[in-house]
Amino acid sequence: MIEGAQMTIYRDAKPEDTDEVVDLINYAFGMQAQKILAKAYAENGEVLESRHKVAVDETTGRIVAAVGVYPQTMHVAGKQLNAMFLGCVCVHPRHRGEGHMGKLIGMWHDELRAEGNTDLMVLWGLRHRYAYFGYTPCGYDYTYSVNQSCVKHALAGTDADGITFRTLFTKDGDAALADQLNRERLVYAERPLPVLERICTYLNSEAIAIDRDGESIGYLIRALADPSVVREIALVDPADSPAVSKAYLASLAACRKDAFTVRVSPTDVALNERFAAFSENTTIGCLCRCNVFDYATVLDAYLSAAARLWRLEPGRFSVVLDGQPVTVTVRDHTSDGDDRTAVRQSVTVERAADPDAPHLSHMDAQDLLLGMGARFRHDLPVAPAGWFPLAMCWYWPDLN
């Protein structure tokens, strides 16, 4: 595709373009993608799949802009979602403001919609920069802070003896355990074993094994520049959270840190239960932005997860979301007479809507389903309690 007076060619990147695309990424972001983004751009060994579209100045033959996509398979309550991350959106400084970013993103959207295999697109970046292209904040996460007061009072009687920390992937079995703990989550992104170490050290992260008396009991991912920022934690037994926290805070004394934070997905319920019980403060954040292509599939997956993790208000909700008719029904089922403790829930999603169902634009639909502010908007339809926002969350290693 050729456009503009300056004759810009928009096309798929070719294998021989790889070095030039990586050079542009490095120049635009001031980093070494081969190291910092090694899971996608390492020069040697296995990497995750990526595809790029580029803008080429026909006069010079140079690539002046590039946008990458990175397929990711999500497992949500036993259902598979096909996500596509949008990333490494870069334009050479001399060619910014010429519309290349919007053109390339639009080409990706058109192509992926036509292929029909993508349920949602995801990115992490500035909210309003990407709102022009249909992306809105999605889901939420919890960040807990643990300080010396927590240790002195809430964790005074907690036995942390024998808990030590070391670099992950330095002992046999480390990769297998990290893989197992990820796959045991009710909601997780696939992390192929051959690339697992690169995934866990993505974007200036450090992967740390947690041992107790020499036996591995979990791992954590922390910021390389600041070990008090824990980006992910996974434990064989979440009940070890208090002891691990006490031991980890003690280990940070060597770098003069007297507190740390840990980020937890809302669907890691057992970890949230423990950290909420003894942490000093809790903040709710939102790291990613989404562009939903298939509302019914996304609703089915994440509401099914929520129904298994916490009780949703039973009910029925019919709506047309950006032209896609959807009707969702949540029902209670009791297995032991009227014993409410034995209640389980089912979620049914139909690709149809009532004749009088409200119609929402793309941005309003996503704000209702994914945003934290929908409850304050009186112009949006009211769904049964606890349904929204959907419990979407991506851990740091799964970003692209």
What number of H helices and E strands is found in the chain?
12, 20
Distances (CA, A) of 251 to 149, 157, 260: 16, 18, 11
The structural domains of the chain, with segments of one domain joined by +, span: 2-118, 141-285, 294-393
Superfamily of domain 2-118 in CATH is Gcn5-related N-acetyltransferase (GNAT) (3.40.630.30)
Q: Does domain 141-285 have CATH number 3.30.710.10?
A: no
Share of the chain above pLDDT 90, in %: 96
Query: pTM above 0.75?
Result: yes
Flag the least confident range among 2-11, 29-38, 69-78, 294-303. 2-11
For 199-221, the pLDDT digits (tens) are 999 999 999 999 999 999 999 99
DSSP state letters, 189-226? E---GGGHHHHHTTTTEEEEEEEETTEEEEEEEEESS-
DSSP state letters, 43-99? SSS-----EEEEEEETTT--EEEEEEEEEEEEEETTEEEEEEEEEEEEE-GGGTTSS
For 58-114, the pLDDT digits (tens) are 999 999 999 999 999 999 999 999 999 999 999 999 999 999 999 999 999 999 999
For 321-339, the pLDDT digits (tens) are 999 999 999 999 987 655 5
Q: Collapsing DSSP states into helix, strand and coil, what is residue 141?
A: strand
Q: What is the pLDDT of residue 359?
A: 98
- Topology alike, domains 2-118 and 141-285: yes
Q: What is the pLDDT of residue 177?
A: 98
Q: What is the pLDDT of residue 5?
A: 45
Q: What is the pLDDT of residue 120?
A: 98
